[in-house]
Copies of this chain bind each other. A is one copy, B any other.
Amino acid sequence: MSDLKCDEIVFRPIGRVHHEAGGVPRHWSVSEVEGELVLDPCYTAGLGDIGPGERIVVLFHFHLSAPFDPALLRQNPPHRDRDLGVFSICSPRRPNPIGLSVLEVMAIDQNRIRVRGIDMFDGTPILDIKPFIATATECPSTDRRDET
């Protein structure tokens, strides 16, 4: 397994988060902050099926996090009285600093998505946007040909 760390995987931002809130809550599930996901215009055609009221999964880069350190394998999250493993919490300091937020779409205009529930800093690089799926029937490739 020790060869794993030699395998570099390179991604590039597809856009950035923009908002004017002075601060953001610690987690999307308790956030009412509104702002915009501004994508590179080259991706506009890929946003055409996202609509108001929808929940989307936004993957992003915790670009301001200090590098991971083995001492952070267990961390004490806010409001908890004991350490938890990094893979059981949402800390921005993790082996690969990828964040995941589930945001509500308010509106969409070309390459700009107005969203609510932001817990990222202004300027955060966006890596991907996916549909929020909790069950099989919500999967976009589920057979809907019988639906009217």
Contact = CB atoms under 8 A, between A and B. Distances in A.
Interface of A: 1-2, 4-16, 26-27, 29-30, 38-43, 45-50, 56-57, 59, 61, 63, 70, 73-74, 77-81, 84-90, 94-96, 98, 100, 102, 125, 127-131, 133-136, 138-145
Contacts of A57: 100
Contacts of A89: 131, 140-141
A27 B141 contact: yes
A12 B1 contact: no
A31 to B, nearest CB: 9
A69 to B, nearest CB: 12
A22 to B, nearest CB: 21
A37 B100 CA distance: 20
A139 B102 CA distance: 12
A85 B50 contact: yes
5 contacts: A4-B13, A7-B13, A27-B136, A45-B70, A47-B87
B10 A139 contact: no
Given A9-B125, A10-B10, A59-B98, A79 B142 contact: yes
Contacts of A30: 136, 139
Contact of A87 (B4, B7, B130): B130
